[in-house]
Amino acid sequence: MFTGSIVALITPMDEKGQICRSSLKKLINYHVINKTKAIVSIGTTGESATLSQEEHINVVMMTLELADQRIPIIAGTGANATTEAISLTKRFEKSGISACLTVTPYYNRPTQEGLYQHFKAISENTELPQILYNVPSRTGCDLLPETVAKLSNFQNIIGIKEATGDLSRINKIKELVKNNFLLISGDDATALDFMQLGGQGVISVTANIAAREMMQICSYALKGDFINARSINKRLTLLHEALFIEPNPIPVKWLAKEIGLIKNDTLRLPLTPILKTTRLKLKTAFQYANLQRL
């Protein structure tokens, strides 16, 4: 269920910045058709930082409703206050979500012991499967392999989304955790290399635009066919890079609008509209990738 290509889904909004249900439905259908393995609802790419908690919960529940059990839904439930992360997680108990993706606390920069106690407290307050999320470039703290190993002993902490882009991390973590602990890349540019080193998939931004191709790359990689996987990934290399020229999800929302997946590329401040120079680079990357328009 949690291997292969998992999309970090964008949150479509109308011109006024309200959630666009029709575009969300189209996005979900796109991923069902193209056999994406699961959807992460309201992670970083879903603009969790600018949604109220009520909106956050409503979008996850709307995604569950529109998915209609056709694809697993993973809810982003991270927060920089442990009590808030627990509260948000408990709101999804018995909702139908398949797991939670829980980012390391941001801004307050806890110690490794603080990180351990944070995730331990969440784990002890829910039966929902938990996927740790380590992205130091955004949070200001790094969940080290030794701490991941300690956390892997909790039955419902089932894996980690490792988004440092540091490929040496995977071997360090693999040596310390139990064999069934999931290792999922959070960096599209290095995801295939991550899988070749033993990772089981990627939580992908690129999949918002190239769902079929990311599914194929991961499927080949999981079978050990890295020749075909690299052949497809080579076409996506410029796209992996271009989608992060400006802060995520500015580029991916604009490109999703351009190819007809969503109606508007509306963002909430402090995110701002895409630059013209970035648009040109995205168009070039999209053409190079040879992706089909809808």
User: Number of helices (H) and strands (E), helices first, in the chain?
Assistant: 12, 8
36 annotated as belonging to a binding site for a ligand: no
Q: DSSP label at 51? A: S
Distance CA 63, CA 56 (A): 11
The answer to the question of whether 71 is labelled as a binding residue is no
Query: Which residue among 26, 37, 133, 150 is the active-site one?
Result: 133
For 157, residues 6+ apart whose C-beta sits below 8 A from its C-beta are 119, 123, 129, 130, 132, 151
Q: Select which of 161, 253, 257, 281 is catalytic.
A: 161
* 53 vs 24: CA distance, rounded Å: 18
CA-nearest of 235, 246, 186 to 8 is: 186
d(CA 167, CA 185): 10
Q: Are strands 130-134 and 157-162 parallel, antiparallel or unpaired?
A: parallel
Q: Is 133 in the active site?
A: yes
276 in catalytic set: no
DSSP secondary structure letters along 240-283: HHHTTSSSTTHHHHHHHHHTTSSS-----TTS-PPPHHHHHHHH
Residue ranges for the known binding site for pyruvate are: 45, 203
Which residues are identified as catalytic? 133, 161
